Amino acid sequence: MHVAQCLDVINWFKNNGCFVIGGVPTNWLASTSDSKPGFISVYNDYDMISPWSVGRCSDSTGTDTFKKSYLIPDLAYCNANNILYQPVVFPGFSWSNWNGGAQNQIPRNKGEFLWRQVYNIQQSGVSNIYVAMFDEFDEGTAITKMADSYY
């Protein structure tokens, strides 16, 4: 999709009374890596931005680095441009339930990994989050109690 097409869709919904939330790439602000260049006007047109961050960190140290590299600059940009900001958190990750990949690829650590993400978001001044996911048992991201081993 091109920028003009995206803006047309967003504005159609906004003109019809909708609040539009954009699920955007993690690197939306820099327009690098997982983000297409030249889409900042699209991102600026959303009422709220929710960057997808599942798998972007895998432990508390990475979560703290993510806060400094993404949460704080993203929030500052959104605040300066009157866009609401909704970061994504996830409890852990593993392909092993789906395709036999490594168990506990991103360990849950009995909830400590998820807690650290939520703590960092709260400390950054963000008042809401999107919790990924409620149903993805195949990826080990389901937000339910899960065993940490096959024993």
Average of per-residue pLDDT across 93-121? 86
Residue 36 CA to residue 12 CA, distance in Å, equals 22
More confident site: 127 or 103: 127
The CA angle 5-26-110, to the nearest 5 degrees, is 140
Q: For residue range 11-47, what is the model confidence (pLDDT) as tens digits? A: 999 999 999 999 999 999 999 999 989 999 999 999 9
pLDDT band at 146 (very low <50, low <70, confident <90, very high): low
**Interacting residues of 104 by C-beta distance below 8 A, sequence separation 6+:** 92, 94, 96, 140, 148
pLDDT on residue 106: 84
> Tokens 């339910």 sit at which residue?
144
Q: What 8-state DSSP symbol labels residue 68?
A: I
Which amino acid makes up residue 85? Y
Using a 10 angstrom Cβ sphere, with 0-12 exposed, 13-18 middle and 19 or more buried, the burial of residue 70 is buried
pLDDT band at 139 (very low <50, low <70, confident <90, very high): confident
